[in-house]
Amino acid sequence: MGGREATMVLMDENGKRCDGRTVDEPRRIMIKAGGLKNADGSSYIEFGDNKILVGVFGPRDVHPKHMSDTDTGILRVRYHMEPFSVGERKNPAPSRREIEISKVIKEALEPAVMLEKFPRTAVDVFIEVLQADGGTRCAALTAASVALADAGIPMRDMVAAIAAGKVADTVILDVNNEEDQAGQADMPIGYMPNLEKITLLQLDGVLTPEEYKKCIQVGVDGCKLVYELQKKALNDKYFGNKGD
Ligand code: CDP
């Protein structure tokens, strides 16, 4: 973020972005509910060139037991990047970045999941990033929400996510890797579309107050598009005879 490759053309004179998209055009998004037979719920997402698999287990006993809560269930999230998921091999040891992303995804999902119905138990969400191309936390959060629903975990709403951002002084939807590296701002947003509540908001970069408001608006509109695809994934599995 912040012009590390200032010479790169992120937007041409026709307003087309480096991958040919218009300013408010998301990348191609494909979500599949189910797929992992040993998980209680699962999903797979392709979000542009991001490819991410999610497995959900639980509600189940908590080990070690002292981590359990007598009043409510707990949510545990592990976001993990495969060493081969990025151009330069990633060290397999958990990085600070993976620990941070696990935490923000957990906190973004908690308002949606009715954990209070399952005291003393844990719901575990395992996220495997097979291929990364910018925006993995949003793609992972979107897929995790589908996997939780697939596991039959009661939820108040889905959480849909996408990033807004700024390149060439223009607010854009769905920041790709080049735009993340060389652009001016990246703002991941997680949103519950029925409750109209934001559960994830981060900002890397600098925005004016007007740009900030526009990013929120563009991002929330993008989340509503993502939500339609989440519903489609679940409908395809449970009502479309296309699932497992
Ligand atoms: O993926 P997301 O945008 O949520 O998180 P980020 O920390 O802003 O990372 C942006 C992108 O940098 C990732 O999606 C990867 O494509 C890339 N990356 C990488 O090439 N090598 C890493 N060790 C970590 C991230």
Helix (H) or strand (E) holding 21: none
- State the distance from the centre of ligand 1 to the C-alpha of 137, rounded, in angstroms: 9
Sequence-separated contacts (24+) of 241-244 with Cβ below 8 Å: 243/33, 243/34, 244/34, 244/35, 244/37
Q: How far apart are CA 39 and CA 187, in angstroms?
A: 32
Per-residue pLDDT of 12-64, as tens digits, reads 999 899 999 999 999 999 999 999 999 999 999 999 999 999 999 999 999 98
The pLDDT of residue 8: 76
Mean per-residue pLDDT for 240-244?
58
Return all residues near 171 (Cβ < 8 A) that are at least 6 apart: 23, 164, 165, 211, 214, 215, 218
Of 86, 162, 189, the one to substitute when testing ligand 1's pocket (max ligand atoms within 8 A of C-beta) is 86
Q: How far apart are CA 84 and CA 70, in angstroms?
A: 40
Per-residue pLDDT of 50-83, as tens digits, reads 999 999 999 999 998 999 999 999 999 999 999 9
* Residue ID of nearest Cα to ligand 1 atom 20: 86
Asked whether the beta carbons of 101 and 41 are under 8 A apart, the reply is no
Q: How far apart are CA 241 and CA 105, in angstroms?
A: 30
Per-residue pLDDT of 136-186, as tens digits, reads 999 999 999 999 999 999 999 999 999 999 999 999 999 999 999 999 999
Q: How far apart are CA 148 and CA 225, in angstroms?
A: 19
* Residue ID of nearest Cα to ligand 1 atom 16: 133
Q: How crowded is residue 66: how many other Cβ atoms within 10 Å of its Cβ?
A: 6
Q: How far apart are CA 37 and CA 129, in angstroms?
A: 19
Give strand pairing partners of 56.
Answer: 41, 125
Per-residue pLDDT of 88-101, as tens digits, reads 999 999 999 999 99
Peptide bond into 64 cis (omega under 30): yes
- State the distance from the centre of ligand 1 to the C-alpha of 132, rounded, in angstroms: 7
ipTM of this complex prediction, to 2 decimal places: 0.98
Q: What top-level class would CATH report for the domain 29-239?
A: alpha beta
Residues with CB under 6 A from ligand 1: 86-87, 90, 97, 132-137, 177, 180
Mean per-residue pLDDT for 104-127?
98
